[in-house]
Structure 1
Amino acid sequence: MVLRPRRGYCEGMTDIFDVIADGTRRDILQLLRQRSEEGDAGTSVTQIVSELGISQPTVSKHLKVLREAELVTVREDGQRRFYSIEAAPLEQVDDWLVPFLADAYGDSAPDISGLAGVPPLPDGAAHAAEVVGRAAASAKHVVQTALKRLGA
């Protein structure tokens, strides 16, 4: 069954959810994000294979999907390719998720506006991160329930 965006959905959002639904692709995105924060100008396929302990063909397959979804960019240097995360498409997921936070927590919802480019949370912010994590899990449950109702 192919999911199509319904009225009210952001253009292409279903595709982004399909892409990030795979745990290996999420692991690759997480690794690229961490490397980016460390100042790396890109991560090679060899580095990804080594860090995640998965085969080169598997990494290449997932990187192709991430490239097509414009979640990663690639820079070629001779025979080597270096991948970097492109987080802008994930804003669609963020735009979709924020209303669930507001609905779930009302006035006590954490203010997450303007968090792009903010450095990692200090240790004392663990509680706020837990609240957001619970809201994300709740939204995941809503999506899974909706998909089950659609027969997906």
Structure 2
Amino acid sequence: MADNFDAIADSTRREILTALLERGGAGEITAADLAELVGVTTPTASKHLGVLRELGFVSAREEGRLRYFHLELAPFDALQAWLAPFVGDGFAESDAAGGDELAASAVDDTAVFAAWAGTDVGATIGRTIADRSYQARTAFHGASEKVAHALPDSVTRRWGNKA
């Protein structure tokens, strides 16, 4: 889940996702065409599309040398489900509705994502997760160093790695 937030924390990736969302039923698009829409180089768009594809946000169909990309909504459902307790009852109620109401709300969900993609919410959440992840790694590394230095010489000699 953290990888998903890291991916959407990047403003270029959010622009790519928004461009794909705005295409809606218009079909697939190549990296070069998407790069032109977003205002980046084709290699930059390809790099970001690779990250998004790896995480399932987009999928691609290959035809000759070209790849045609389109938006996949399943990862957004997972993000929505995870965020629901933090956002409030609005998302939870739409999930609890079920049946025809849930199907009818698919358009509303798309509008919610479109509104969300244009804000800094993804960047804020992604940055927060990245910061917390870094803090945890740093704390773990620091604790490991302290433990290694606190070990008696007999233990470090036995294991062959004097810190």
Same-fold call, TM > 0.5? yes
Task: Name the amino acid aligned to 1:14.
Answer: A
Task: Name the amino acid aligned to 1:31.
Answer: A
* Structure with greater proportional helix content: 2
Instruction: Note if contact 2:58-2:72 (Cα within 8 Å) is conserved in structure 1.
Output: yes
Task: Name the amino acid aligned to 1:144.
Answer: T
- State the SS of the aligned residue for 1:151: helix
Aligned mates of 1:142, 1:119 — CA distance in 2: 21
Cα RMSD, aligned residues only? 3.4
State percent identity of aligned pairs. Answer: 35
Aligned mates of 2:75, 2:3 — CA distance in 1: 10
Inter-CA distance 78–32: structure 2 relative to 1 (3 Å threshold):
same
Aligned length: 122
Aligned mates of 2:125, 2:13 — CA distance in 1: 20
Instruction: Note if contact 2:56-2:75 (Cα within 8 Å) is conserved in structure 1.
Output: yes
- State the SS of the aligned residue for 2:26: coil
1:93-148 per-residue CA deviation (whole Å, 9 max, x = no partner) reads: 1011111122xxx6xx5744333244876xxxxxxx98x89xx94xx469728945
Q: Give the one of 38, 45, 48 matched to 1:52.
A: 38
Q: CA deviation at 1:64?
A: 0.7
Structural mapping, 1:21-40, within 5 Å: 21-35=9-23, 37=24, 39-40=25-26
1:92 aligned residue: 78
1:71 aligned residue: 57
Task: Name the amino acid aligned to 2:51.
Answer: V
- State the SS of the aligned residue for 2:69: strand
1:126 aligned residue: none
Normalising by structure 1, report the TM-score: 0.64
Q: Give the one of 34, 43, 47 matched to 1:61.
A: 47
Structure with the greater relative contact order (CA < 8 A, sep ≥ 6): 1 or 2?
Answer: 2
Q: CA deviation at 1:91?
A: 1.6
Please list every run of at least 4 consecutive aligned residues from structure 1 whose deviation after the TM superposition is greater than 2 angstroms.
Answer: 109-121, 140-152
- 1:116 and 2:106 correspond: yes
Inter-CA distance 146–24: structure 2 relative to 1 (3 Å threshold):
closer
Instruction: Note if contact 1:16-1:90 (Cα within 8 Å) is conserved in structure 2.
Output: no
Gaps of 5+ in 1: 1-12, 122-128
Larger Rg: 2
2:128 aligned residue: 144
Aligned mates of 1:41, 1:101 — CA distance in 2: 31
- State the SS of the aligned residue for 2:56: coil
